[in-house]
Amino acid sequence: MSYLPPTRELRERLDTARTLSRLFYREEALVLACGDFIPWVARLETKAELGRTAWECAVAADALRERVFELRYPSRFLDERAVEIGVATADELRGLLRSQRDEYRRYLDAADELADGPSIRIADSALRDKKRQTGALAALDLAEVDPARDADYFLSSFYWPDVLDPGYPYGEGIALQVRSAVSHLNEVWAVETAGRILHDLSPELGWEFTAEAARWLYDETRHMLMGKERLEAWGLPNAMVPLGGYIYEAWRGEDALYGLGMLGYFETKNIGRKRERAAAFHEMGDATSEIDMEFDWADETLHAEYGRRWLRRLLEVRGDDPESWPQVLERCEQLVRARIEEATPEDLERIRACADALVRGAEQRAG
């Protein structure tokens, strides 16, 4: 008997699933490494790039994972990770990004458009991201201290006097515009906290957490950059702008459980004020601050839900009562209070002078 010959170079369906699983594990390793490194890079732009890369890798990984399930339907499993993919240095991160980029290229060269179009779409987007990431992180450099800070700024753990002196007014008008931008910039603590919990808690909480925590991290980097860009656009030099991180410092030496508590709690505490602030900026004709506040509000609403859900889940996974989360938050409050108690009168004087000068400088620029 004779048959018609194959007309395309076909790849086996299950073979493809194995290849995509391998790409998934490598993306997952990239996500965790980005989170791990965030507190150890000084420049805010680099922290932001690591956050963006973590999220993009998580988006690619999630799509790969779902595609593997489709290819294996009706069973729903990923192959065991073949090798442990450790990424301990900046060089290793760069190397993995480049080799992942090359893997996508190879995959796309061999893939069959008709049979495997959905996978091609995923690999294509991932390859585009990998090209950007390899360029953006080419100069990645890890510092010796955690949290690493860009010394261009006015470095002060407590980034506004009201942290140490509740009598210091939040401010109105220009003072409110400046205070709000400084708050956004100082979400650097949230960026670092999100990076650490992403890395530290993913092994216990699994992929769903990893994917959401990567988005959480990316959102916090966007909030930080919102503040940075507003301050720069107003022409306020970095040397006059306070940059701190006392909340991250408060839990740094503790179990990442408390990092999750801090991020879920302290980051969403002011959620109720954000609408009101956006309205105030609208009145002032400051559309940038208004829009930033609106989008921040939308993100925080998601985050509040992440925080509640994952804190309960973590307690449950550890065999603790999931309803005991208020105790975790209580301990978070204690840790922050203890960090604040370490502040000296000189710390308060220093940050007060900095804040006063910044608001004066902004008033002068407004004319």
Closest approach of Fe ion to the CB of residue 217, in Å: 10
Closest approach of Fe ion to the CB of residue 274, in Å: 10
Of residues 36 and 220, the one with the C-beta less far from Fe ion: 220
**Only segment of 7-15, 23-31, 221-229, 311-319 that touches Fe ion (CB under 5 A):** 221-229
Q: How far apart (Å, rounded) are the C-alpha atoms in residues 282 and 46?
A: 31
Q: How far apart (Å, rounded) are the C-alpha atoms in residues 367 and 361?
A: 10
The dihedral built from the CA positions of residue 55, 60, 62 and 63, taken in this order, carries a sign that is: positive
Of residues 199 and 303, the one with the C-beta less far from Fe ion: 303
Closest approach of Fe ion to the CB of residue 93, in Å: 25
Site for Fe ion in 241-270 (CB under 5 A): 267
Site for Fe ion in 293-322 (CB under 5 A): 300, 303
Closest approach of Fe ion to the CB of residue 259, in Å: 13
Place of tokens 């208020």: 326
Of residues 97 and 213, the one with the C-beta less far from Fe ion: 213
Which of 179, 199, 215, 223 is the binder for Fe ion (CB under 5 A)? 223
- The site that binds Fe ion (CB under 5 A) totals a number of residues, namely 6
Task: Evaluate whether 356 touches 240 at the Cβ level (below 8 Å).
Answer: no
Closest approach of Fe ion to the CB of residue 225, in Å: 11
Of residues 168 and 295, the one with the C-beta less far from Fe ion: 295
Closest approach of Fe ion to the CB of residue 302, in Å: 8
Site for Fe ion in 128-157 (CB under 5 A): none
> Is there binding between residue 274 and Fe ion (CB under 5 A)?
no
Of residues 249 and 267, the one with the C-beta less far from Fe ion: 267
Closest approach of Fe ion to the CB of residue 163, in Å: 17
Closest approach of Fe ion to the CB of residue 230, in Å: 15
The dihedral built from the CA positions of residue 92, 95, 97 and 102, taken in this order, carries a sign that is: negative
Of residues 270 and 327, the one with the C-beta less far from Fe ion: 270
The dihedral built from the CA positions of residue 202, 207, 213 and 218, taken in this order, carries a sign that is: positive
Site for Fe ion in 179-218 (CB under 5 A): 187
Closest approach of Fe ion to the CB of residue 359, in Å: 23
Q: Binding string, 18-57, against Fe ion, x = CB under 5 A?
A: ----------------------------------------
Of residues 57 and 213, the one with the C-beta less far from Fe ion: 213
What does the binding site for Fe ion look like in residue numbers (CB under 5 A)?
A: 187, 220, 223, 267, 300, 303
